[in-house]
Structure 1
Amino acid sequence: MAFDFSFDGSECVTCGGKCCTGESGYIFVNIDEMLKISDFLNISFDKFTQTYVKKVGYRFSFLEKKSTDGNACVFFDDETKKCLIYEVRPKQCIDFPFWEGYKRENIDEKTLKELYELCKGVKCLKKF
């Protein structure tokens, strides 16, 4: 049985950064996104990439830092529990928690519960 669900981004304000903290991983970002973020931060692209980005194979990822909740994205503010670049965050962050394995057609009751535990913004609308 599949479930209809939506995402309520207003929940991001109160969640405490579950998508930004935890186990080590990659926060992939492309060049267009990096340009947008460096502009948002009002720093040069070169300075931005040297300070906040690492190369992973042929891709780029934000650096991580230690956090009270394990590891965190370099742009996560531990004090306020908010993303410092939320307005211009990369697609990977925008798409969270709907990554591989959590595609709409694969959602069942167990998966929806997992999604909800990952992200309080996931809202079940109705069974169908």
Structure 2
Amino acid sequence: MSEATQGERLPIMEMAGYDFRFDPNACAACEGACCRGESGYIWMKYPEIEAMAEYLGMELEAFAGSYLRKVGHRYSLTEKKLGEGDYACIFFDEEKKRCSVYPVRPRQCRTFPFWEQFKGDEEEVRRECPGIL
């Protein structure tokens, strides 16, 4: 989600190989649709884990014990259940409807909606994100 200051418009984003563009200004109105939904994985690499732990002022081990789950040889942020079939990233602020660790969010979040799975499937990404143009 975008963190534009009130009144500031962010530029439309596009990426080679994708048939759509993304308006990050739509994030303010969608209330975190990309941060919640069915259960899944929010993959993190070690440098991202270190950065997030530092941002939160936590020791790496404490952060990992509180917020990560190991899936095979990879790590994912934990989720919280909001309702039947509705999960959110552990760092999704339900009151503000946005990411509480936005400056250090994982690459997976930084690159949304330009994910390989959406390449050539504009219909699916439109269902996920109201900022698709």
Identify the TM-score tier after normalising by the shorter chain.
0.7 to 0.9
Match of 1:28 in 2: 43
Please name the residue that 1:113 is paired with: 123
Asked if 1:78 is matched to 2:88, the reply is: no
**What residue is the counterpart of 1:64 in the other structure?**
79
Q: Which moved more, 1:45-54 or 1:6-15?
A: 6-15
Give the unaligned 5+ runs of structure 2.
1-16
RCO comparison, higher one (Cα < 8 Å, 6+):
1
Shift in alpha-carbon separation, 1:55–1:10, aligned structure 2, 3 A: same
Closer, same or farther: CA 122–46 of 1 in aligned 2, 3 Å? same
**For 1:87-102, what aligned pairs fall within 5 Å after superposition?**
87-102=103-118
Task: Could you tell me which runs of 5 or more consecutive residues in structure 1 were left unpaired when the two chains were aligned.
Answer: 124-128
C-alpha displacement at 1:3, in angstroms? Answer: 7.3
For 1:100, give the aligned amino acid. Answer: E
Question: CA 1:79–1:57 in 2, change beyond 3 Å: closer, same or farther?
Answer: same
Aligned residues: CA RMSD: 1.9
The percentage of aligned residue pairs carrying the same residue is 43
TM-score normalised over the length of structure 1: 0.80
SS of the counterpart of 2:52?
helix
Alpha-carbon distance in structure 2 between the residues aligned to 1:71 and 1:28: 15
* Native 8 Å contact 1:67 1:78 kept in 2: no
Q: Which amino acid in 2 is paired with 1:90?
A: P
CA distance in 2, matches of 1:3, 1:53: 31
Residue 17 of structure 1 and its aligned partner are, at CA, apart by 1.1
Q: Does 1:43 align with 2:58?
A: yes
Q: CA deviation at 1:22?
A: 0.9
- Whose strand proportion is higher, 1 or 2? 1
Instruction: Note the C-alpha offset of 1:118.
Output: 0.9
1:76/1:82 contact within 8 Å kept: yes
The answer to whether the aligner puts 1:5 opposite 2:34 as a matched pair is no
